[in-house]
Amino acid sequence: MMKSIILILFMTPLIYKKLSWNMFQLSFLSSMLMIIFSSKFSFFSCISYGYGFDYYSYGLIVLSLLIISLMIISSNLIKMTLLVGEFLLVNLILCLSLILIFSSLNMFIMYIMFEFSLIPLLILIYIWGYQPERLVSGLYLLMYTLFASLPFLLVLNNIYMVQGSFYFDLCFILSSSFFNHLFLVFAFMVKLPMFMVHFWLPKAHVQSPVSGSMILAGLMLKIGGYGLIRFMYMNEFTFFSFNFIWFSLSIVGCILVSLICLIQGDLKSLIAYSSVGHMSMCLMGLVTMTKWGIWGSYLMMISHGLCSSGLFCLSNFAYERYQSRMFFLNKGLINLMPSMSLIWFTFCAFNMSCPPSLNFISEIFIINSMMMYWKYSFMYFLMISFLSACFSYYLYSFIQHGMPHFSYSYSSGCVREFLLMLIHLIPLLFIILILNFIYF
């Protein structure tokens, strides 16, 4: 594990070397392939000096390296500016903090990295964001995360006072208090985000550059689900006792957020709200505490990371050409950008969990776990699936069809953009073929 971390640290000199943009991105892909091909799985693997990974963290670490490299490919406009080295440095710090979160065996180091990952994300939004409103959105992001994570620090302090250790495999929580449970999970619920504490997410998405949106949708939301999985094994009794609260909020939130998606006028805002809906479904699977539910949520985290990141890239392609993300100006794209229409259709279909995507498999797992938890939940699931199909179809049909604005001209995609979308698409289709590594 340490060799992967040290490899990323030693990529720092590439920031100050001219023409290192492609080399930097290639180094991330090389480290991802090194982790994929060098892993020998037992219960935990690659353990060294307080770091290691198991099945849960393995997929998220590979996803982190892949999304960071795709962020660099997608940020072609930043490549033309003077702040190229600073942008690559922020990406490097962000990638390192995410890998330390997903590979740490120590709760306190995980908490420090959990908070530290906020700083490079804020820098991304503040420096490379588009509108002046990015200052307010950064403030929302900072306040929500800090407000939720300070009580979590108190819970960690209490765990250390009682158990005498911060290591996950040496600790178990004996408290049955609801407030102790609330403080423990609230930081991860905000990061996920759960309905009612999700207001920071659409603001951060809309004001951030495409790289910020990709890292938010692809990885930062996954920290919440990963933290819940880790702490669920330490305190099963209180999770069994109080999970019905989070289950109920997730069902209501998923339906309401899907309805909110239907009244959006901004491309990135709709995709951001759809992320809230998918993460609510992910939370439903987690709180059932069944094998089907946890693996379904885990697969949904990976599939949503790729699918949502791809949709943000597509919306950025339109923004780079037309300088607007409004639905009313981005109409008739099937006439203006016909080369991208099939890719738009594919990603909108995968966003509504059509087969043969990984999203479809994860929703099958989650509906099974929901039925085990509460047999009448299938009625709500039918409504959620229908509304998810509605807003995905609304997204595709509204921007592809209709009368285009008179000032636009024909525009085609370039090789870089097709490559970017293909790398998003291939894992969504082919991870299904290697699902036999999960021992059901």
Q: What is the pLDDT of residue 236?
A: 87
| pTM given for the model | 0.94
The rounded Cα 368 to chain-centroid distance in angstroms is 23
Phi (first) and psi of residue 40, to 5 degrees: -115, 105
* Nearest Cα residue to 65 out of 88, 105, 35, 104: 35
CA pair distance 230, 219, nearest whole angstrom: 16
> What residue ranges of the chain have pLDDT lower than 50?
440
Q: What is the chain's length?
A: 440
What's the confidence (pLDDT) of residue 19? 62
Beta bridge partners of 426: none
pLDDT in the model for residue 43: 52
pLDDT at 440: 47
Res 328: pLDDT = 81
Tokens linked to 373: 């938890």
3-class SS of residue 45:
strand
pLDDT at 56: 86
In this prediction, residue 410 carries a pLDDT of 64
Map out the domains of the chain as residue ranges.
105-437
CB atoms within 10 A of CB 58: 19
H helix intervals, 164-220: 178-191, 200-207, 210-215
Predicted local distance difference test score (pLDDT) of residue 18: 59
DSSP 434: G
Predicted pLDDT at 44: 54
The reported pLDDT for the residue numbered 438 is 57
